Amino acid sequence: MATRASSSLAPTLLLWALSFFAVRRALIASAQSLPPPKYDGFVYAEHPVYSGTIVIEAFLDPVCPDSRDSWPPLKQAVDYYGPRVWLVVHLLPLPYHDNAYVASRALTIVNMLNTSATFPLLELFFKEQVKFYNAQTLNMSKASVVSYIANFATQVVADSLKSAVVSGFENTLTDLKTRVSFKYSASRGVFGTPTFFVNGFSLPDSDSTTSYSGWRSIIDPLITAQGDPREENFYFL
């Protein structure tokens, strides 16, 4: 009798096991968002990139005062060098800045709608950053903060896109893309802002504000060491 009962249970147990692993695999697949279909970050200026282009990656938090202070000299340096330097900004919303994630999500939404408005919004966040510090929104609900930041972000887009910015916070894709940016920062070992990488290598003491002259002292020797860029092959990213 025991043998017969065991044999009758075998197909049921097998089906249960197969169902369990199928569901588990489906859950893992649905939660898997890495690697993303596109390299993370906002490109500061679209121009041809060749093998000698100096690549700067900046990890910034739109509600971080140090990120705010580091941006003007970095922007000045990148504008000075033009196509010799390629800048990508990665968002790292720090958990102790209460509104950093919502602000980062606003930047993601605006970037998806109009890439030319991304950096104006980042600079607007920096300019009026005090509005989004922890103490200023302490007595606001989460929904109120989201609405406040969504409406703030509409200042940099056309009137026809304002409703799209607000509704973007209801789109799970914008949440996913913002999370991917955070995960990318973590994968690079970045835990503070601002943090800078040049040609893939972290700058010493890059968590402190770098001056324009400081950026020149970093980039000039790299350009000198490259020689004539016309000898290199061009690639387009």
CATH number at residue 123: 3.40.30.10
Domain assignment present for residue 26? The answer is no
Q: Using 50, 70 and 90 to split pLDDT, how confident is the model at 77?
A: very high
pLDDT tens track for 165-184: 999 999 999 999 999 999 99
Domain assignment present for residue 52? The answer is yes
137 closest CA partner among 127, 126, 128, 148: 148
**Model pTM above 0.75:** yes
Q: Using 50, 70 and 90 to split pLDDT, how confident is the model at 236?
A: very low
Q: Is the pLDDT of residue 71 over 80?
A: yes
Residue 88: helix, strand or coil by DSSP? strand
Task: State the residue range of the domain holding 126.
Answer: 42-228
Which pLDDT belongs to residue 76? 97
Domain assignment present for residue 2? The answer is no
Domain assignment present for residue 118? The answer is yes
Domain assignment present for residue 23? The answer is no
Whole-number Å distance between alpha carbons of 199 and 54: 6
Using an 8 Å Cβ cutoff, are 100 and 62 in contact? yes
Using an 8 Å Cβ cutoff, are 201 and 222 in contact? no
Specify the higher pLDDT residue, 208 or 154: 154
Using an 8 Å Cβ cutoff, are 57 and 91 in contact? no
Domain assignment present for residue 78? The answer is yes
Q: Is the pLDDT of residue 26 over 70?
A: no
Q: Provide the domain count of the chain.
A: 1
Residue 140: helix, strand or coil by DSSP? coil
